[in-house]
Amino acid sequence: MRRRAMLVAAAALAAVVISGCGERSQGPGDGGKLRIGIVAKSLGNGFFDAVHKGADEAAGTLGAEIIFTGPTTPTAEGQIETLNALIAQRVDAIAISANDPDAVVPTLQRAMQRGIKVISYDSAVAKAGRAVHLAPSSDELIGQTVAQLAAELAPEGKGKVAVVSATPTSTNQNSWLANMQQTLPQHPGLELVSVVYGDDVADKSYRETVALVKQHPDLAVIVSLSSVGIVAAAKAIEDQGLAGKVKVTGLGLPSELVGYVRKGVVPKFAIWNPIDLGYAATQVAAHLARGETPDSGLSLERIGTVTFDADGVGAMAKPFIYDESNVEQFASIF
């Protein structure tokens, strides 16, 4: 009888261990600390460093732990490795800015099957791979904004314009570009002559910019849809001795562009606040991990309320314009 009782006890213990193998570590529902993985397109990118700062701020208000991570280069393969590591760590939620909208979907579906809540932010994941997507602004407003900047910087609103984007598969840049192209007819003096891709890598963005000005010596404005690309393009224009002749604008960080604004290489540019984006993405991920649904919108404390459409997409705000009147102030922040 004693042997039988021992066997029963051992079997019961084994059942507990086996059942625990398929569960995540203790999470918010059972008193554990909420753990959220924030995945950048790549590490060492100033935009995502600012996202990290905002995520840490939100974590402090939520009592959560942030695991900020990403590949060393902006590739889908690198993000898949990063995601697998987060799944192995059994985080409660993942927020990702995707290098490719589709390639990461199978990995993210596996995360969701294991009870991990998944959202995308900044650069969207295909709907099948996430619960919601948090956009920093609407694609339409971003496209309109960069087109307007180009028109304001071109002499008398006329001239040739070229675009330096990130990667051909970046969902956000592609959508912004499409909306910019739709807006350009409102500025009949502008002619879009080329779109090149720097792959969100400084060296390649620099080389693509140099090639642009050699191919189009009468270029008036370069618009970069990448925070990496705009810095590289500005440096290329300065190095080529074209400051003042070819204006650079687009989306970038004040801390990285303040010097170029002073020199007149980048007279004005736009960006949402990536600190706020990191804060909001963390808040959204935390709400979902705690079992809330986004159906009627989510309150994100100091950011306000974000509502999501039928496709699970919510937008934050209109891009803000930075120039010599305010860039110094914001350069100390991000």
Residue type, 330: F
Place of tokens 């208000």: 61
Return the structure tokens found at 72: 């060393």
- The stretch 155-173 carries a mean pLDDT of 95
Q: What percent of the chain has a predicted confidence (pLDDT) above 90?
A: 84
Q: What is the pLDDT of residues 68-93, one digit of tens each?
A: 999 999 999 999 999 999 999 999 99
Residue 157 clears pLDDT 60, i.e. is over it: yes
pTM reported for the whole predicted model: 0.78
Q: What is the pLDDT of residues 223-250, one digit of tens each?
A: 999 999 999 999 999 999 999 999 999 9
Residue 256 to residue 240: CA distance in whole angstroms: 19
- CATH numbers and ranges of domains, the chain: 27-135+274-316 (3.40.50.2300), 139-271 (3.40.50.2300)
Q: What is the pLDDT of residues 13-46, one digit of tens each?
A: 333 333 333 444 445 444 578 999 999 999 999 8
Q: Measured between alpha carbons, how far apart are the two ends of the chain, in Å?
A: 71
Helix or strand or coil: residue 258? helix
DSSP string, 64-103: -EEEEE--SSS-HHHHHHHHHHHHHTT-SEEEE--SSTTT
Helix or strand or coil: residue 47? helix
Return the structure tokens found at 308: 């999501």
Give the phi and the psi of residue 66 in degrees, each rounded to 5. -100, 130
Q: What is the pLDDT of residues 258-307, one digit of tens each?
A: 999 999 999 999 999 899 999 999 999 999 999 999 988 899 999 989 99
Residue 7 clears pLDDT 50, i.e. is over it: no
Give the phi and the psi of residue 61 in degrees, each rounded to 5. -75, -25
